[in-house]
Amino acid sequence: MSARPLVSAPLTPREILDRLVAFPSVSRDSNLPLVDWVEDYLAGQGITAHRHWNEDRTKAALFAHVGPWEEGAVVLSGHTDVVPVDGQDWTSDPWTVVEREGRLYGRGTCDMKGFDALAIWALVEAQRRGVKRPLQIALSYDEEVGCTGAPPMIAAMQGVLPKGAVAVIGEPSGMQVVNGHKGGTGFHVHVKGFEVHSSLLPSGVSAIMEGARLIQWANERNAWIQAQAVSPVAAGFDPPFTTLHVGMISGGTAHNITAAECRFALEMRVVPGEEIEAHVSDFLSEVARVEARMKAVRPEAGIHLERFFGVPALVPETEGEAEALIRRLTGGNAVGVVSYGTEAGQFQEAGYSAAICGPGDIAQAHQADEWLAVSEFQAGQRFMERLLEELAA
């Protein structure tokens, strides 16, 4: 595949970061202005990028390949979406990178446009300098709403680019290798009851009280899980076990009327080595049991479930190529695991050796005055420089 000639001067990582942050690519909105800019910028450097659209074509993932047109590339993976700033008290414009006291403030500087900027810079440098092993970039959408944009992007890459071998997912990790994280899934639960005066309770169905049975099941499930022996794979996590959680609930109209509606969301964070679907199956069995009890009183009653995310765990690999590569580039021996989910497990599930390494501290993500330390951004650039050297060797 021949590349187009260079037609514009390359930007520095910081210049790229400034441009990326300027796009308010909140998950609820389109990311197309950002994608348009990245695609045009890469084209100006002689790099052809490819899009994968969502169903209504309001968002797109972007991926590209430089170097020999062959399999075995290192893939630099990041997401383009950020969380909202609504209701947060920012001391500067969240859509403008502001440097203060060694920190780069702005929405997404840490999670994860800092890494995206470095990855775009590295791809352009690989094109300019030449590499013997190919380099790819993969920028997804809708990571912040359940990592839903990466799987179709990864599938689309297989038919367009040569298959990559190693995926480095640049979530903030302090430039340390993370080789494992929990998987997870969640359900929006809508319990439909039947209203009667509370004095006639047995002839009605309280959606809140029936929903509470499912929440109590989650409590009992947590207690049962925590009573089990901790597996070696799970031991490094905090906490070292699977958790089920309900964070919000709503429903009911008055204290003396059985509730017609109850809504809540239940999430599961599952340690590697356990099957997410086994926990799901047990939950569905409990839903069926509670629903049957409700319908025996009022056939109109019922429970509706909507699954709203599903993220596979990142399983620590034995002699994994991704972990070995990151160790060589960072010179670090420390390895860690995290309890939140990322797109790394999705790359691993698709046959890539995957690990996490990116600038920043996850504690800064999603916060008002989100920031990335300048030193971390510089460490990320040194990482990319060493990567380019290795790919050229």
Please say whether the dihedral angle defined by the alpha carbons of residues 361, 362, 367 and 371, taken in this order, is positive or negative: positive
pLDDT tens across 172-192, in order? Answer: 999 999 999 999 999 999 999
Catalytic choice (111, 125, 143, 274): 143
Distance (Å, whole) CA 224 – CA 241? 11
Q: What is the pLDDT of residue 334?
A: 81
Angle at 178 between CA 176 and CA 225, to 5 degrees: 140
- Per DSSP, what are the bridge partners of residue 243? 269
Q: What is the pLDDT of residue 2?
A: 41
DSSP string, 102-157: TEEESTTIIIIIHHHHHHHHHHHHHHHH--SS-EEEEEES--TTTS-SHHHHHHHH
pLDDT at 158 over 70: yes
* Confidence band, pLDDT 50/70/90 cuts, at residue 7: low
154: left (phi over 0), alpha (psi -120 to 50) or beta: alpha
143 in active site: yes
Distance (Å, whole) CA 61 – CA 66? 17
Please say whether the dihedral angle defined by the alpha carbons of residues 67, 73, 74 and 79, taken in this order, is positive or negative: positive
Q: What is the mean pLDDT of residues 26-43?
A: 97
pLDDT tens across 260-316, in order? Answer: 999 999 999 999 999 999 999 999 999 999 999 999 999 999 999 999 988 999 999
This model's pTM is above 0.95: no
Catalytic choice (39, 81, 171, 274): 81
Q: Which two tokens stand for residue 64?
A: 């590209």
Q: Which two tokens stand for residue 111?
A: 């999670």
Q: Which helix (H) or strand (E) holds 50?
A: strand 49-53
pLDDT tens across 80-116, in order? Answer: 999 999 999 999 999 999 999 999 999 999 999 999 9
- Establish how many alpha carbons lie within 13 A of residue 354's alpha carbon, considering only the half-sphere containing its beta carbon: 24
282 in active site: no
pLDDT at 165 over 50: yes
pLDDT above 90 coverage of the chain, percent:
93
Q: What is the mean pLDDT of residues 221-242?
A: 94
- What interhelical angle do 374-392 and 13-21 show, nearest 10? 120
pLDDT above 70 coverage of the chain, percent:
98
Nearest to 337 by CA among 236, 214, 230: 236
